[in-house]
Amino acid sequence: MMAIARWASVAGSAAALAAVAAVAACGPREVPVEDAALPQTSADPCAAATGFRGLVVCRNEGLLALDNAVREAIAAEAGGLDPAVAAALNEEQDHWLEAARISCGAPTAETMPDEAQLICLTAALRDRLNSIGDAIDQQGPFTFLRVEAVDADPVTAAAAAASGLGEDAPTAITRDISYPQLTGDGPEIRRFNALVRQEPRFGLEDQTSETVNYTIVYAGEDLISVRFDILHEPLMAPHGSVEVQAVTVNMREGAPLTEADVFRPGSGWENFLTRRAVVALARAFQGTDFVPSEADVRETVTKPPQWLVTENALVILFPPYSFAGPQIEGGQEIAIPWSDLRAYLNPTGPRPIGTAA
């Protein structure tokens, strides 16, 4: 079950982002479900509840205990923030529940879940509870806020039949897109946030589920490198498509990483990367009849949008379908230590590149 959450309303406010930074040191934590007691408050937590929460969740002791535990976890993460921010996050939990309801197959907000749907919703709420602490992440000198765009739309019987899947069709077309945003303000921060923002490529009416996950592979004062793994699953297609992207930002400039940030012009780095990658890929494809052409390899290795930066190495991503000829399932990636690249590196480049040189 996808981790359904919406933090965009918080990320849209520079003041709220700055406030979130105050609790970043709390870090991720798991809240045991057995400790998910109802809040000790004199107010009825369901008094003003509407929609699926008011009509169904508040009438089910197990779901209500989990939902309230999620809200308590949100309150802990938002401790010290403007009360309006905490209220917005709780409102987002209502949106999350609606998306979870659709994904678990409950057709309307008034539908009391059957056994299978109840199991699905319980599992989703457990996952949601355990993911709250990951919404704020302190790495290096930066505080990142996870932003997610999540939605769901039921798959109709007609669409299921047209797909050829029939009863095996998914219950819903889902959108689960996440990306990091920096807290604080400043032109470099605003530029980074714009560069890593992920937008849906399909409308729910296109009958294509989208999933975007990210990993911050490096976050230093000079540079941030983020990997995105993207999955598109059309209802009418026999299988989905996988894509991997790198977004590496030179925080000195608030701009995408360039060749000149990494390598000295005229040093021959292009030839070195190509040779190194050809050898690594030949090893990866050993036992198959496929050997990628040097031209195809060079086309990828010389493109900064395919580069991830780590503390110790340059990682080059080869997404699926990078090469002409037989299509190899899944992508490849190779890591070349900075120590092997020292002769080609720009000594004035952003850290860790400049220091490795």
CA–CA dist 184, 30 (Å, integer): 27
Answer yes or no: is 3 within a domain. no
Answer yes or no: is 335 within a domain. yes
Q: What is the pLDDT of residues 277-322, one digit of tens each?
A: 999 988 888 877 777 888 889 999 999 999 999 999 999 998 877 7
Select from 209, 228, 256 the last residue of a domain. 256
Select from 256, 285, 320 the last residue of a domain. 256
- Nearest Cα residue to 203 out of 178, 229, 174, 238: 174
Can you give the CATH number for the domain in which 352 is found?
3.90.640
> Is the per-residue pLDDT at 337 higher than 70?
yes
Say yes or no: 132 and 148 in one domain: yes
Residues 118, 58, 111, 210, Cα dihedral to 10°: -60
User: Residue 156: which residues within 8 A CB-CB, separation 6 or more?
Assistant: none
The secondary structure of residue 111, as a DSSP letter, is P
Say yes or no: 199 and 310 in one domain: no
Say yes or no: 205 and 329 in one domain: no
Show the tokens assigned to 259: 């060749």
Determine contact, residues 281/297, Cβ cutoff 8 Å: yes
Q: Which residues pair with 29 in a beta bridge?
A: none
Domain count, the chain: 2
Q: Which residue has the tokens 């798959």?
A: 155
Say yes or no: 198 and 342 in one domain: no
Say yes or no: 227 and 347 in one domain: no
- For the four alpha carbons of 70, 71, 75 and 77, in that order, the dihedral sign comes to positive
Does residue 66 or residue 15 have the better pLDDT? Answer: 66
Say yes or no: 244 and 287 in one domain: no
Confidence bin at 7 (pLDDT 50/70/90): very low
Determine contact, residues 198/150, Cβ cutoff 8 Å: no
pLDDT at position 81 is 55
Answer yes or no: is 43 within a domain. yes
Cβ atoms within 10 Å, residue 255 = 14
Show the tokens assigned to 314: 């340059």
Say yes or no: 322 and 211 in one domain: no
Confidence bin at 224 (pLDDT 50/70/90): very high
Select from 229, 256, 283 the last residue of a domain. 256
Answer yes or no: is 270 within a domain. yes
> Is the per-residue pLDDT at 28 higher than 90?
no
Q: What is the pLDDT of residues 145-172, one digit of tens each?
A: 778 788 899 998 888 888 888 888 888 9
Say yes or no: 158 and 297 in one domain: no
CA–CA dist 321, 298 (Å, integer): 15
Can you give the CATH number for the domain in which 15 is found?
3.30.565.40
CA–CA dist 193, 224 (Å, integer): 11
Say yes or no: 177 and 263 in one domain: no
For residue 300, what are the domain limits?
Answer: 259-356
Answer yes or no: is 1 within a domain. no
- Continuous H helices in the chain: 8-11, 14-20, 51-55, 61-77, 83-103, 115-131, 157-163, 187-196, 259-262, 269-284, 294-301, 338-341, 353-356
Say yes or no: 19 and 68 in one domain: yes
pLDDT at position 30 is 34
3-state secondary structure of 216: strand
pLDDT at position 325 is 56
Say yes or no: 213 and 310 in one domain: no
Answer yes or no: is 2 within a domain. no
Say yes or no: 124 and 213 in one domain: yes
Does residue 112 or residue 250 have the better pLDDT? Answer: 250
